[in-house]
Structure 1
Amino acid sequence: MESSDGRHESADERADRRWNELLQEVRVIQTGMQILFGFLLTVVFMPRFVTLGQTDKTIYVVTVLLGAATTGALIGPVTLHRLVTGRRIKPETVLWASRMTLAGAVLLLATVTSVLLLILRVAMHNSAVPWIVVALVAWFLLCWFALPAWARHRNSHEKGRGKNRVARSKSR
């Protein structure tokens, strides 16, 4: 059976392939998040933490909460899979796990933004900090979301043109 992406695989084979691809993606993003979150959890125990102003302490708390939410979203696909294994709902599992992973990526963007804001505020103490953070967030948005969305749109647009050409040539 040929799927819409030109592969010859059954629905179960496609779900297995997509699950394996998703698992590899989650491993990459989860590792980075675990390192970041582990670092965040130690900051409060550093001697300098007590000298931070209330704004920086608030940013820190928000950052830790975002880190916890990100961790939850990125671990979610694994527990989802474990709890529904053997129920013959792998295509649905892959869909929900994919959604959780995308939510985790969005939360990771928020966490990294908050971390950058906190660290640069403490390190630089100047008015350029928000602009630097905005520039970096724009870069992340471009790399993580805009470029993939553009590639997806371009690919679907080109496939549509290819189908139109095939249809026109068959009608001649």
Structure 2
Amino acid sequence: MEHLARDPAPRSRIYHLMAERMSFKITAALRARRVEKWIRAVRRDYLDNAPIKCVGLDCEFTNPCEADQRAAVLQLSVASENLLFQICWADEVPQVLKEFLLDESIRFCGTTIDKDVEMLSPYCIHITSAFDLLKILPNPTKNLILSLYDLANSIIVTNLVKKKRNK
């Protein structure tokens, strides 16, 4: 992963990743203004003129052993643009993000997305148009628990590997 640019606010970065002959731009953000900038850009560049508006959504959670488990990182993907919003440690949750996730013209897709929607509610984030890909697409693999990696590898014929977490 190559570091490309840095937001003037500390702890917001943009990376460019090449994997499986594909290029991804990853914006890692702790600041509300970087999230707002990302949303404005993907709306302008991808969603405003798209006949079908689709955004990938996933969350990573705080430690399940902690009493107050919640969403720690909100991940959004549109085309090759990806946002990793460290919501648990952010300066604030921007209103632009809340309105973006409430937009009924956008389909927010993920696997087991109901849990993500539930874990975002303490941040006053509500998603009205969430679609669970596991309920829509047949499982193309022999894996009992299907992940977005499994779907991508099967549908667009990639060989992406999810890194194991260090415990």
Greater C-alpha radius of gyration = 1
- Whether these two folds match at TM > 0.5 is no
Q: TM-score with structure 2 length normalisation?
A: 0.24
Which has the larger share of strand?
2
Instruction: Return the TM-score normalized by structure 1.
Output: 0.23
Q: Which has a greater percent of helix?
A: 1
Larger relative contact order, structure 1 or 2 (CA cutoff 8 Å, min sep 6): 1
